[in-house]
C-alpha cells in the first residue's frame, strides 16, 4: 500500500508573504506535544486522536496575515488608499494592470493552491473524524464535545477559504470530498456553479449550520484557546457575506435583499452585542474620548487581554523590530513600505464632524479638480490646504504619519534631504506619508528591542455596526438607527456631533450612501476591505483607476499636492484570472476577459 505523507502548512505555505506562520502551540497555548506533520502518514494521523487534533489545529495556519503578505507589500497598496515604496509586489502587478506579473503571485496565483490545500485538510477532518479512535483519557462527554467543536470549526474554516476564493475568482468548483494529493486535484471538478449555488446554497448554509456546534464566546475567549473559531465568528462572517450579496454587483444573482442584509447584522447585535463593544479610551479629567488610543487598541490589543471589539482574527505570537521594519519610516531605520495616499487623507472629516470638502462621489472619495489636484473646499469647515492635518478626525492621526509628527525615536520629516526623505534612498515615501496604523510603537522602544502583538483582525464589531448602517440606509434611507451606528463609531474617534445634524447627508439616501462608503474607507483602512468594497459596489473602475495623490513638503514647510502614481484598472479586473497552470491543466472556464 502506498505510504502518503501529510505535508504541513509550513512547507506548503511558502509564498504567502512575510507574515510568520505560527505553530499550533503558539496559537493555542503549549498544551500540544506535536510531532512534525511532514513525518506523519495519513493512516497514523487519523489513527490517533491526538495527532488528528494537531492536524486540525494546523489548518488555522491557512488564515493569512495581511501585513506585507504580497511580496512584502499590502493589498491596500493596490487601492486608492496607498502606494508601496517597494518596486515589486502590487506595484509591479496590480497597479500596472499586469495580473500575470510574478510580483503579485502570492495574491494572484498562490491563493488558489493554498486555499484548496486548506480545504482538503478541512474535508479530511469533516469526513474522517468519526472513525478516529477515542483517546482513552477522554471522557465520553468530552470526546463528543471535542468532535463537535472540531467538525464545526473545520466547516467554518472551509467556508472562509471558499469565500476568500470567491472574492478573487468568482464561483469555483466546490469540493467536499478528500482528493488525491498526488493526482489532478480538480479532475472532474471543472463545472463552475452560479453565485446563488456557491454562496447562498453552500457558504451561507454552512455558516448557519456550523454555528451552534462551535464554542461559545465564554469558552473560546481565553489565552489557552486564543484564536479558536467560536459562535460569534460564524454569525459575523454571515453578516459580511449577506451584505456583499445584497450589494449591486451580486444582488441580482444572489437574490439577497438589503433588508436581509440588515437583518443579518441586527441579529449579531441582538444576540452577541452584549459581548462586544467598540474599544474606547477616555480622558480622566474631561471624560471625552481619546480617539487615537481607542482606535489603536482595537487592533493591537489581544482578544483575551481586554479587546472587546475583535471578533474574528488570526492569532500570532509577539513580533519585534523585524516584523515592522519593512513598513516603518526611513528615518526610524525602516524601509518605507506601505505609504498612505493623499486620497485617503482627504477622506477624513474635521474634528467637529464637518466635511472639509463639498462633494463626494459614489466611491466615498471627494471629487477632485484635476487641474489643481484639490477637491472643492467647504469654507464653513475651516479647512485650510496649507494646514491640512490640523483639526481633523483623530483616526487620521491614528493611521497616518505626516510631516512634524513625533514618532518612535524622532519627528517625521519628509523634506527632501531630511530624516525621512534622504537623497538616494529608493524606498522613501512616494506620497509624503508613512504608515502609523497596525504598527506597535512599543517595538520602537530601547533601540528597537521591544516586542508586541499585532494580530491580524479579520472582522471587528465596528464592521457589524457599519454593515447595519449601510444596509438599513439602502432599505429606509437616512434614519435614526443609521445615525446611531455611525455616531458611535465617530464618537470613539472624538467627534461629538451627530450625523443627524448634517442636512446635506440626511437629505437623501444617495448622499448618505456616499458618506457611509467614505466612513468605511477610513475606519477600515489597511484592513483589506477597500479592495473588495469598491468591487461589490460596482465602482472599482472609478476607485482603482484614478491617480494616487501625494504631497511634497518644501524647505519652508509649505505643502504642494502632486500625482504620486497613475493606476490601471479595467472591467475584467473585477475578478482575477484562473491561474494559468490550472486553466491549461483542467480546461476550467476562465473569467471574462482572461480567456486568451
Tell me, what CATH number does 58's domain have? 1.25.40.890
Give the residue from 77, 62, 136 showing the smallest Cα distance to 567.
Answer: 77
Is residue 488 assigned to a domain? no
pTM of the model: 0.93
Would you say 525 and 518 are in contact if contact means Cβ atoms under 8 Å apart?
no
* 454-496 per-position pLDDT tens digit: 999 999 999 999 999 999 999 999 999 999 999 999 999 999 9
Radius of gyration of the chain (CA): 24
When pLDDT is cut at 50, 70 and 90, the band that residue 130 belongs to is very high
Is residue 299 assigned to a domain? no
Q: What is the mean pLDDT of residues 519-538?
A: 98
Q: Which residues contact 328 (CB under 8 A, 6 or more apart)?
A: 334, 335, 337, 408, 434, 435, 439, 444
Q: Which residues contact 529 (CB under 8 A, 6 or more apart)?
A: 463, 520
Separation between Cα atoms, residue 139 and residue 246, nearest integer Å: 45
The total number of structural domains that make up the chain: 1
- Residue 565 pairs with which residues in a beta bridge? 548
pLDDT value of residue 169: 97
Helix (H) or strand (E) holding 410: strand 410-411
pLDDT value of residue 303: 85
Is residue 315 assigned to a domain? no
DSSP of 358-390, one letter per residue?
Answer: S-B-TTSPBPEETTTTEEPB-GGGT--GGGTTT
Is residue 311 assigned to a domain? no
Q: Which domain holds residue 188?
A: 9-62+109-214+576-586
Is residue 117 assigned to a domain? yes
State what percent of residues in the chain have pLDDT above 90: 85
* 363-418 per-position pLDDT tens digit: 999 999 988 999 999 999 999 999 999 999 999 999 999 999 999 999 999 999 99
Residue 181 has pLDDT above 70, yes or no: no
Would you say 324 and 401 are in contact if contact means Cβ atoms under 8 Å apart?
no
Q: Which residues contact 435 (CB under 8 A, 6 or more apart)?
A: 82, 327, 328, 337, 338, 339, 340, 399, 400, 401, 526
Residue 318 has pLDDT above 70, yes or no: yes
Residue 34 has pLDDT above 60, yes or no: no
Q: What are phi and psi of 440, to 5 degrees?
A: -70, 115
pLDDT value of residue 35: 42
Is residue 23 assigned to a domain? yes
Is residue 131 assigned to a domain? yes
Is residue 305 assigned to a domain? no
pLDDT value of residue 180: 72
- Joined together, the cell numbers standing for residue 371 give 487641474
Amino acid at each position: 500500500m502506498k505510504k502518503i505523507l501529510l505535508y504541513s502548512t509550513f512547507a506548503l505555505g511558502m509564498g504567502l508573504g512575510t507574515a510568520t506562520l505560527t505553530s499550533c502551540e503558539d496559537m493555542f497555548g503549549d498544551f500540544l506535544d506535536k510531532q512534525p506533520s511532514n513525518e506523519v502518514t495519513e493512516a497514523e494521523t487519523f489513527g490517533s486522536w491526538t495527532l488528528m487534533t494537531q492536524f486540525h489545529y494546523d489548518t488555522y495556519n491557512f488564515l493569512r496575515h495581511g501585513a506585507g503578505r504580497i511580496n512584502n507589500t499590502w493589498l491596500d497598496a493596490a487601492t486608492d488608499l496607498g502606494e508601496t515604496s517597494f518596486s515589486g509586489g502590487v506595484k509591479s502587478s496590480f497597479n500596472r494592470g499586469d495580473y500575470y506579473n510574478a510580483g503579485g503571485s502570492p495574491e494572484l496565483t498562490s491563493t488558489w493552491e493554498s486555499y484548496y490545500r486548506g480545504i482538503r485538510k478541512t474535508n479530511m477532518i469533516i469526513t474522517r473524524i468519526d472513525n478516529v479512535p477515542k483517546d482513552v483519557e477522554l471522557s465520553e462527554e468530552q470526546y463528543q464535545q471535542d468532535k463537535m467543536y472540531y467538525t464545526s470549526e473545520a466547516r467554518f474554516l472551509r467556508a472562509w477559504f471558499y469565500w476568500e476564493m470567491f472574492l478573487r475568482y468568482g464561483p469555483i468548483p466546490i469540493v467536499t470530498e478528500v482528493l488525491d494529493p498526488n493526482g489532478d486535484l480538480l479532475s472532474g471538478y471543472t463545472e463552475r456553479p452560479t453565485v446563488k449555488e456557491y454562496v447562498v446554497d453552500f457558504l451561507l448554509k454552512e455558516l448557519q449550520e456550523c454555528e451552534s456546534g462551535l464554542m461559545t464566546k465564554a469558552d473560546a475567549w481565553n489565552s489557552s484557546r486564543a484564536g479558536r473559531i467560536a459562535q460569534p465568528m460564524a454569525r459575523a462572517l454571515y453578516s459580511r457575506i449577506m451584505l456583499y450579496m445584497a450589494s449591486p454587483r451580486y444582488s441580482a444573482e444572489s437574490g439577497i435583499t438589503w433588508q436581509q442584509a440588515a437583518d443579518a447584522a441586527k441579529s449579531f447585535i441582538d444576540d452577541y452585542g452584549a459581548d462586544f463593544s467598540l474599544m474606547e479610551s477616555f480622558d480622566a479629567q474631561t471624560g471625552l474620548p481619546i480617539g487615537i488610543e481607542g482606535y489603536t487598541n482595537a487592533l493591537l490589543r489581544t482578544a483575551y487581554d481586554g479587546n472587546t471589539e475583535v471578533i474574528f482574527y488570526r492569532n500570532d505570537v509577539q513580533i519585534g523590530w523585524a516584523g515592522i521594519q519593512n513598513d516603518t519610516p526611513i528615518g526610524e531605520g525602516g524601509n518605507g513600505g506601505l505609504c498612505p495616499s493623499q486620497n485617503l487623507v482627504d477622506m477624513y472629516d474635521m474634528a467637529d464632524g464637518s466635511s472639509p470638502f463639498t462633494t463626494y462621489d459614489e466611491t466615498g472619495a471627494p471629487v477632485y479638480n484635476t487641474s489643481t489636484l484639490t477637491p472643492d473646499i467647504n469654507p464653513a469647515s475651516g479647512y485650510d490646504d496649507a494646514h491640512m492635518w490640523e483639526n481633523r478626525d483623530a483616526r487620521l492621526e491614528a493611521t497616518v504619519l505626516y510631516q512634524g509628527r513625533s514618532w518612535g525615536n524622532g519627528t517625521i520629516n519628509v523634506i527632501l534631504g531630511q530624516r525621512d526623505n534622504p537623497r538616494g534612498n529608493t524606498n522613501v515615501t512616494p506620497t509624503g506619508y508613512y504608515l502609523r496604523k497596525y504598527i506597535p510603537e512599543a517595538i520602537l522602544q530601547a533601540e528597537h528591542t521591544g516586542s508586541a502583538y499585532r494580530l491580524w483582525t479579520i472582522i471587528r464589531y465596528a464592521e457589524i455596526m457599519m454593515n447595519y448602517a449601510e444596509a438599513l440606509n439602502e432599505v429606509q434611507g437616512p434614519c435614526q438607527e443609521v445615525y446611531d451606528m455611525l455616531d458611535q463609531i465617530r464618537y470613539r474617534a472624538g467627534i461629538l456631533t451627530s450625523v443627524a445634524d448634517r442636512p446635506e447627508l440626511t437629505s437623501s439616501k444617495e448622499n448618505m450612501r456616499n458618506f457611509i462608503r467614505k466612513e468605511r474607507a477610513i475606519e477600515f483602512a489597511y484592513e483589506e476591505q477597500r479592495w473588495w468594497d469598491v468591487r461589490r459596489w460596482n465602482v472599482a473602475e472609478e476607485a482603482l483607476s484614478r491617480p494616487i495623490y501625494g504631497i511634497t513638503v518644501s524647505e519652508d514647510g509649505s505643502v504642494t499636492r502632486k500625482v504620486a502614481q497613475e493606476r490601471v484598472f479595467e472591467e475584467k479586473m473585477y475578478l482575477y484570472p484562473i491561474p494559468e497552470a490550472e486553466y491549461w491543466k483542467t480546461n476550467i472556464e476562465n473569467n471574462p476577459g482572461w480567456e486568451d
